[in-house]
Structure 1
Amino acid sequence: MKPRAVIPTLLIATGLFFTIIYPSIDFRNSLFKEDAIFSHLDYTLPAMNEIKIQVDSGNMSGAKHALLDYMQDRVKSPVHAWSGNTGYKDKADKIIAREFTVNGRTHLLDDYGTRHVNGRQVLDMNFHLNPDDDFEWIWQLNRGGWIKDLAVAARGFYDINDNATGDYYTAALVDLYTIFLEDEPVGSGYSWRTIDSAIRVKNIIRGFDLIKNSSMFTPEFCYKYLESLLDHGRFLNLFHKIRTNWGFIEMNHLLDICAYFPECTLVNRWLEECWSTLDKLVSISIYNDGGTSEQSIEYHIVMIGQVLDAIEYSINYDFITAPEHFFAVAEKMAVFLLHNTMPDGYVATYGHADVRRPSGRLGKASQLLINNTEIQYFDHNGNIRPNATPPRLNVAFPDSGIFLSRTAWNDENALFSYFDGGPFGKGYHQNNDLLNVMLYGFGRRLVIDPGRYTYTSDPVSGYLRTAHAHNTWTIDGKDLFMVDAAGHQWAGGLLGTVARSWHGSFGARAEREIVQVNFRTNSSDINSTTSNALDQARYWLISDFWHGGPDHNLALHWQLLEHDPVLIDNASNVISNPETGGIHCMKTNFPQGNVALYGFGPWEDVQNITAGDKSVHGQPYGYWSPDYNQLENATTYRYLGTTGGDDSWFTVAYPYNTSVNISVNSIPYTIEGNLCEFGGVSNPANVLVVNHQDGSKDLHVSRRLGLVESIPIVLELNGISFQITGNHASMHFQPSETVPSQILARDVSSLSMNGTIILDASGSTVSVHDEFLDHVTMGLRTHDGMVPVMVNGSPAAPSRYKQNGNTLEINLL
């Protein structure tokens, strides 16, 4: 089956299963026979003796009283127990009136009359009602968030000695849960999906433990409560999934039951199933680099939370032992999450993702995984430790295909870039976002990913999954990015990073390279691992290549903020759009924190899409705000043109705070004696110069892969002839200088000026001719161990260079 057909097929199949087949299965209200729960208690525990006496005598009523006494006298509390809070009173009152807010939507479900429950007449309830015709609403309702609201409110009033009000909310909770138990037999449709049942376990344990000492928590209900808890355990043990986040959540909450009620003799069997299943889930869902196969940062956060919880159970309970390798898995996942955190503390929102801080997960990782120095950047409460700065700024996660760069830690104004050059995700929560980029600078998301809308198949949700809603391109209006990358390259060091990825699906080749340029204005700053706003040559270059037939309609998409990006800031945005020929430049105009886009390509028009008029633009649009539960305005800049066969285009994204004064020029070059100028058909490279306000400039050469790489690209700049053999080279020229002082290169075999080779990596060593260079950051084409460096024909002193993986740093000061 083609990848694009998988998700609709799964949605249809799932819908049919839950609406037709699942509800018709004959389930009982409990998996246990009447009173058989007593046969599953561990009577070797001295505290269980009174229960055993009553059971042996056949006094089931007395056994239930003894069971309640035992539960109330137990010191054990749930992991992550809740506290009481009278501030939950309004939520609790609405639930009693049968007003439920789920997934951001509120419905009043009070038209089912009344019902006699536990000796009280209460409003009835229908847990199958689907008022929005949205399965997600009913599934979320049955996860039992209402248990927490009522229990926390009740406990809050008990804590201030208002027992009458506490009893009122406890009775309401006991009655509503009794209705659930009577109307929703184990395994019934809607209410007993495995993931919803697992999440409900958390609410059941933590909620009812808060009110177990209330007079409303009767022996009969205590028995029903524990019977229900063990029903959930048996159900999850039998029917859990072995797939992505569902399996992690289901096994984590089965562990929850084991930790809370080890007096049950079924626990050992369930623990074996938990660890066996979690081990399988790790092997199929967690990449070796710590990323997760769903390719969604939201569900990475979910899964690392489950892994950390499992480790915490193992640390806190002698009878629960996590496999040793789980600690290493959690470390890799935490490091991945750490580097996917932007300078403002929010995650890079790829895949289905809310704009959220991961500090809670990272704080917990810091607490449990004390031997990893990178994770210790966060303290146990999730607060940053400025003096524990992680050692790496630029990180590649090759299995996930995610490449991350930043200019500094502990600096909200630092630059940060995200590039997706990896596989298409498994499951439901991935987006069609191969080759997507996100950019951040000066305290703001500058080029954004729209994140998720809802799980459902509505038009906006469907649109936000597509390439059209990401920072990539489409051909003939078709989404080409629901595929795996065919390959990727990476190098990262002091002067910046170079990441490239491509795919060859659909009978053509799409290729993108993103360069985070980090040249230093002052040579004396070269040795610093961080840079700041005084370094003017800090920006991004995105080079795109299309290798396919002619006469296709091309659309390049950039997603920018308009205002209120999920409460991160409240500034307004005005776009200016000067354009000349195939060059389209624009800049944002926030009071501070901006980006200018200099777009060179076969562009004939640019659409500025700032509203969701599908009839005009063929799309709804917006930026989903979980805080407001609505679409916030955003801006899509859609460059439109046609391809003439093999084609290339590039965009310089220049971040600035309040003003910008640079220029970007494409310059001609020759290859095999053929003159190539920008806009020509089948150009093999993007060649450009960025001119800075202080008079310095940068030269960039980015060449399409798959060509005869031994043939040099020849160009002239500052009256000097340059020859570049390889795929990428960037050079920085100080003001009034005609020769470069800094070079950032990736996959280059040689670079020469006026016939003199200044950089040679064609053999087993790297040779530098140094008369004017200060520093070279070079991504090696191939490497096997450490690569020797020669400077002016002599071996370089070890103190002059260092190698990190495939990246070589050469200090020539």
Structure 2
Amino acid sequence: MSLLHIFRKLNKMSPQEITFRCRGLVYEQLERLKHSGPLSDGAFFRALNVKDTSSQALWNYIRKRENVVFFIDEHNKQATIETINKQYPQLIQQAREQANKICRHEFSFLGIQVNYEDKIPWTSDPVSTKKWLQKFYADVNIFDREIGDVKYVWELNRHQFFVDLGKAYWLSGDERYAQEFFGLINSWIDDNPYKMGVNWTSALEVAVRSISWIWAYHFCLFSSSLTQETNLKILKSIYQHAEYLENHLSFYSSPYNHLIGELSALFIIATVFPEFKRASLWREKSWKILKNEAGKQFYQDGIIVEQATFYQHFTLGFYLMVALLREMNEQQGSGVKGQGSDKVWHIIEKAMESSMYLTRPDGLLPMIGDIDNARSIYIENPPMWDFRAFLSTGTVLFNRGDMKKVAEELSSGKGFDEDSLWLLGIDGMKKYQEIDSVYPEVTSKALDESGYYIMRSNWMRDSNYLCFDCGEIAVGLFQDSTPSAAHGHADILSFELSAFGRPMIIDPGFYTYHGDERLHYYFRQTKAHNTITIDGQSQAQEAGKLSWSHAPDHYPKKWISNKDFDFVEGSHDGYKRLADPVIHRRAILFKKEGATLSPEYWIIRDYLDGNREHLVESFFHFAHGIALNIQGRDIVAQSSAEAGILIQTIVPHQAMMVDIIDTGNIPDGGWIAPGYGFLIRAPILRYQARVKLPFEMTTIIYPFKGNIPPSISPELIQEGLRLMAENEKV
């Protein structure tokens, strides 16, 4: 970052932020001076509120205590296992198979497969095998590309596979899995001294690792493989994790999912281990901030302000665990919801509700914004972009029959998810079964605050669906040249579309933070989304990795929804920084089957307001496996014999060139990234022309079944254009 950019960022900071950052720098130097090796047993016991300060006594106490409740119900273990065998007959075998892989040190994450024959090298890059230097954490250059993308070593050290080991042990009683867990955690603690090396460079990584340890620890708490020495070693390290989190909260550097994850881990540690003398302070501090932050993390409609669907559920999962754990551990049955947490529960419900409306007919969510494949609740192992477990959990927590209906309807009757069972227990499952499922009140939905507009024909798996993005790139971006980091993409006025339940036009996803820079930048740019670019530019200007400047204003103008059609219109001024400023306005009409049983279709009209000649390019990114063909003035896209779409464009007085991009090189040669580190082929349809503005372009998208696309009748086109014109005037 240049000195000019640094000055501009400083100029945007509040006095409180500058003070906080200065204190952080001073604290870092004090850390460096005071850091004096491992925590002694004596120092640790002095940090505890226990009478008998011996490892044997602590081991016995933790196993016998009754004052702490966690999600794993040891008292109803047999009943839980019987329920799992009945409701999820393959689960225990699948859990053992996954745990067996971990015992063989076989790992699969972020698009790679890793097999360690012997000891796991916790501080080596899993791809390059190069070792990150073991030095004071603040001196580690996490952007050293000679070693590799730091996300990979971080992912390994999140230890979420410890939960797999613990779950397999708890369900099967096979001591091999507990032994492996305790062996791995011992190895990690030995190889990663407190505040030394790459695995202490990110507070979020410390947080996720803490939560993984706590889940696995409780799964294996009554294993004969847990010795008093190992128990003491684990608790000492968890204490250090909490101490680190307390002093490294990302208030200004990463005040969204990072901060929430860090606070949540601190709260969970403090709640599960009230024996720590600082636990009460940690719990009160973290809950107070979490409660105050909740309204800053989500719009009123429930969408995350980061404008990234994966991170929405990452943050939501943290809040959900904390809120449930707080309620479970509230003393004397006084009940959390009457003690200042109504606001948090309301936001959790709205976040689940917005997720329900965003869910596509195939049960997955649109791939909006950045992703690092992170799940805060890591018990089940669902397909990527499948967050229906939140809906089955929300069914019980909020008595929402509509969430139950969508969770089951769009998953072939899958019902109560495994995650929900671990969070809510057998009683939660019984309550779920008692709730009647009902369809949501509406099929199409406007999420006005975040700017997402969902059009669908019904709530069946074979419905037609479109999600229109008319929201800001992300909250907190600057409209001048000041750079600011965000997980949102330059995707205003983009959309996703499914025909008869099949994803056709999709958001291409996101590939990497610290890997190939071409791929990092491409998937965040406007041309990697289903909208229009002017002169090859993005709607905002890239200002470094994860950063934007010159953020556009967005203007959701209109939403109309009735039984016959949905209509939405919005615009943005992302090209106002050009020598000839350009405004892009887009309107979308979804003509429903309605009472006349006429065919369903979409009309998309784009208006470009300017005064000079520009290169105009309109992109449509298709799902993997879609076959694209140019047939005269028509474009035919087919996913199978069951679903396809016919695309026609109407361009007054202009001819646009059209081409299919599907065999090119990275980054823009026809690729999608359905997850961090995953890259697969998928075709792109591009219209382009050099035209003088103002300019207007109309696109008709007609879904069909079968192998032969129908002809679009002139009467249908005229009907749609008439409806479009009428509603644009309203």
TM-score if structure 1 supplies the norm length? 0.68
Q: Which runs of 5+ in 2 are unaligned?
A: 11-20, 75-80, 82-91, 129-147, 374-383, 409-414, 418-431, 476-484, 541-550
Q: 1:345 aligns with which of 344, 352, 363?
A: 363
Say whether residues 1:577 and 2:658 are aligned partners: no
* Paired position in structure 1 for 2:600: 538
Structure 2 contact 370–487 (Cα < 8 Å) conserved: yes
Paired AA for residue 219 in structure 1: Q
Q: How far 1:609 sits from its partner (Å)? A: 0.8
* Paired position in structure 2 for 1:369: 398
Paired AA for residue 357 in structure 1: D
* Paired position in structure 2 for 1:517: 591
Q: How far 1:207 sits from its partner (Å)? A: 1.8
Deviations 1:496-551 (A, max 9, x none): 111111112332211111111125363xxxxxxxxxxxx33311110001111322
Report the Cα distance in structure 2 between the residues aligned to 1:284 and 1:607, rounded to whole angstroms.
Answer: 43
Q: How far 1:276 sits from its partner (Å)? A: 2.2
Q: Could you say if the C-alpha distance between residues 447 and 80 of structure 1 is closer, same or farther in structure 2, counting changes exceeding 3 Å?
A: farther
Report the Cα distance in structure 2 between the residues aligned to 1:258 and 1:656, rounded to whole angstroms.
Answer: 56
Q: 2:570 aligns with which of 501, 506, 528?
A: 501
* Paired position in structure 2 for 1:46: none
Report the Cα distance in structure 2 between the residues aligned to 1:70 and 1:245, rounded to whole angstroms.
Answer: 35
Say whether residues 1:619 and 2:668 are aligned partners: yes
For the residue of structure 1 that corresponds to 2:622, the secondary structure is strand
Say whether residues 1:175 and 2:186 are aligned partners: yes
For the residue of structure 2 that corresponds to 1:276, the secondary structure is helix
What aligned pairs does 1:302-341 form with structure 2 within 5 A after superposition?
302-319=314-331, 323-341=341-359
Q: 1:360 aligns with which of 389, 394, 419?
A: 389
Structure 1 contact 545–647 (Cα < 8 Å) conserved: yes
Report the Cα distance in structure 1 between the residues aligned to 2:73 and 2:187, rounded to whole angstroms.
Answer: 22
Q: 1:263 aligns with which of 269, 272, 275?
A: 275
* Paired position in structure 1 for 2:659: 607
* Paired position in structure 1 for 2:692: 644
* Paired position in structure 2 for 1:58: none
Paired AA for residue 539 in structure 2: L
Q: How far 1:644 sits from its partner (Å)? A: 1.4
Q: How far 1:423 sits from its partner (Å)? A: 0.8
For the residue of structure 2 that corresponds to 1:516, the secondary structure is strand
* Paired position in structure 2 for 1:135: 150
What aligned pairs does 1:479-494 form with structure 2 within 5 A after superposition?
479-480=538-539, 483-494=552-563
For the residue of structure 1 that corresponds to 2:598, the secondary structure is coil
Report the Cα distance in structure 1 between the residues aligned to 2:588 and 2:704, rounded to whole angstroms.
Answer: 18
Say whether residues 1:466 and 2:466 are aligned partners: no
Deviations 1:78-134 (A, max 9, x none): 325799854245323333xxx654423244567xxxxxxxxxxx8473525464411
Report the Cα distance in structure 1 between the residues aligned to 2:227 and 2:569, rounded to whole angstroms.
Answer: 65
Q: Could you say if the C-alpha distance between residues 604 and 229 of structure 1 is closer, same or farther in structure 2, counting changes exceeding 3 Å?
A: same
* Paired position in structure 2 for 1:690: 716
Q: Which has the higher strand share?
A: 1
RMSD: 3.5
Q: Could you say if the C-alpha distance between residues 373 and 276 of structure 1 is closer, same or farther in structure 2, counting changes exceeding 3 Å?
A: same
* Paired position in structure 2 for 1:42: 49
Structure 2 contact 455–566 (Cα < 8 Å) conserved: yes
Paired AA for residue 268 in structure 1: S
Say whether residues 1:592 and 2:642 are aligned partners: yes
Paired AA for residue 594 in structure 1: G
Q: Could you say if the C-alpha distance between residues 150 and 403 of structure 1 is closer, same or farther in structure 2, counting changes exceeding 3 Å?
A: closer
Larger radius of gyration: 1
Q: 1:198 aligns with which of 207, 222, 241?
A: 207
Structure 1 contact 435–512 (Cα < 8 Å) conserved: yes
* Paired position in structure 2 for 1:388: 438
Report the Cα distance in structure 2 between the residues aligned to 1:387 and 1:172, rounded to whole angstroms.
Answer: 46
Deviations 1:337-369 (A, max 9, x none): 110011221112222357522210111122222
Paired AA for residue 517 in structure 1: K
Structure 2 contact 510–674 (Cα < 8 Å) conserved: no
Q: 2:504 aligns with which of 417, 422, 446?
A: 446
* Paired position in structure 2 for 1:549: 611
Q: Which has the higher helix share?
A: 2
Q: Could you say if the C-alpha distance between residues 464 and 470 of structure 1 is closer, same or farther in structure 2, counting changes exceeding 3 Å?
A: same
Paired AA for residue 121 in structure 2: M
Q: Could you say if the C-alpha distance between residues 224 and 451 of structure 1 is closer, same or farther in structure 2, counting changes exceeding 3 Å?
A: same
Q: How far 1:401 sits from its partner (Å)? A: 0.9
Q: Could you say if the C-alpha distance between residues 513 and 27 of structure 1 is closer, same or farther in structure 2, counting changes exceeding 3 Å?
A: farther
For the residue of structure 2 that corresponds to 1:561, the secondary structure is coil
Report the Cα distance in structure 1 between the residues aligned to 2:616 and 2:41, rounded to whole angstroms.
Answer: 68
* Paired position in structure 1 for 2:309: 297
For the residue of structure 1 that corresponds to 2:716, the secondary structure is strand
Q: Could you say if the C-alpha distance between residues 149 and 268 of structure 1 is closer, same or farther in structure 2, counting changes exceeding 3 Å?
A: same
Of 99-108 and 433-442, more deviation after overlay is shown by: 99-108
| Structure number with higher relative contact order (C-alpha < 8 Å, ≥ 6 residues apart) | 2
Say whether residues 1:476 and 2:535 are aligned partners: yes
Q: How far 1:474 sits from its partner (Å)? A: 1.1
Paired AA for residue 635 in structure 1: P
Q: How far 1:701 sits from its partner (Å)? A: 4.5
Structure 1 contact 311–322 (Cα < 8 Å) conserved: no
Structure 1 contact 187–235 (Cα < 8 Å) conserved: no
Report the Cα distance in structure 2 between the residues aligned to 1:30 and 1:497, rounded to whole angstroms.
Answer: 64
What aligned pairs does 1:224-239 form with structure 2 within 5 A after superposition?
224-239=233-248
Q: Which runs of 5+ in 1 are unaligned?
A: 44-51, 56-62, 111-121, 523-534, 564-572, 666-688, 692-696, 703-727, 731-744, 749-813
Structure 1 contact 151–173 (Cα < 8 Å) conserved: no
Paired AA for residue 295 in structure 1: Q
Q: How far 1:197 sits from its partner (Å)? A: 0.5
Structure 2 contact 636–647 (Cα < 8 Å) conserved: yes
Q: How far 1:373 sits from its partner (Å)? A: 5.8
Report the Cα distance in structure 2 between the residues aligned to 1:624 and 1:463, rounded to whole angstroms.
Answer: 11
For the residue of structure 2 that corresponds to 1:289, the secondary structure is coil
Report the Cα distance in structure 2 between the residues aligned to 1:124 and 1:589, rounded to whole angstroms.
Answer: 43
For the residue of structure 2 that corresponds to 1:231, the secondary structure is helix
Q: Could you say if the C-alpha distance between residues 248 and 171 of structure 1 is closer, same or farther in structure 2, counting changes exceeding 3 Å?
A: closer
Deviations 1:687-708 (A, max 9, x none): xx535xxxxx614148xxxxxx
Say whether residues 1:208 and 2:217 are aligned partners: yes
Q: Could you say if the C-alpha distance between residues 352 and 286 of structure 1 is closer, same or farther in structure 2, counting changes exceeding 3 Å?
A: same
Structure 1 contact 576–586 (Cα < 8 Å) conserved: yes
Say whether residues 1:413 and 2:404 are aligned partners: no
Q: How far 1:600 sits from its partner (Å)? A: 2.0
Paired AA for residue 561 in structure 2: G
Q: How far 1:30 sits from its partner (Å)? A: 7.0
Report the Cα distance in structure 1 between the residues aligned to 2:639 and 2:164, rounded to whole angstroms.
Answer: 44
For the residue of structure 1 that corresponds to 2:521, the secondary structure is helix
* Paired position in structure 1 for 2:479: none
* Paired position in structure 1 for 2:428: none
For the residue of structure 1 that corresponds to 2:330, the secondary structure is coil
Report the Cα distance in structure 2 between the residues aligned to 1:166 and 1:561, rounded to whole angstroms.
Answer: 39
Q: How far 1:454 sits from its partner (Å)? A: 2.8
Report the Cα distance in structure 2 between the residues aligned to 1:586 and 1:87, rounded to whole angstroms.
Answer: 43
Report the Cα distance in structure 2 between the residues aligned to 1:125 and 1:310, rounded to whole angstroms.
Answer: 32
Deviations 1:166-208 (A, max 9, x none): 675355235313323xx33236544341110111012211223
* Paired position in structure 1 for 2:71: 79
Structure 2 contact 356–403 (Cα < 8 Å) conserved: yes
Q: Could you say if the C-alpha distance between residues 22 and 361 of structure 1 is closer, same or farther in structure 2, counting changes exceeding 3 Å?
A: farther
* Paired position in structure 1 for 2:230: 221
Paired AA for residue 703 in structure 2: P
TM-score if structure 2 supplies the norm length? 0.75
Q: 1:244 aligns with which of 220, 235, 256?
A: 256
| Aligned residue-pair number | 604
Q: How far 1:472 sits from its partner (Å)? A: 0.5
Q: How far 1:221 sits from its partner (Å)? A: 2.4
Q: Percent identity?
A: 20
Structure 1 contact 468–479 (Cα < 8 Å) conserved: yes
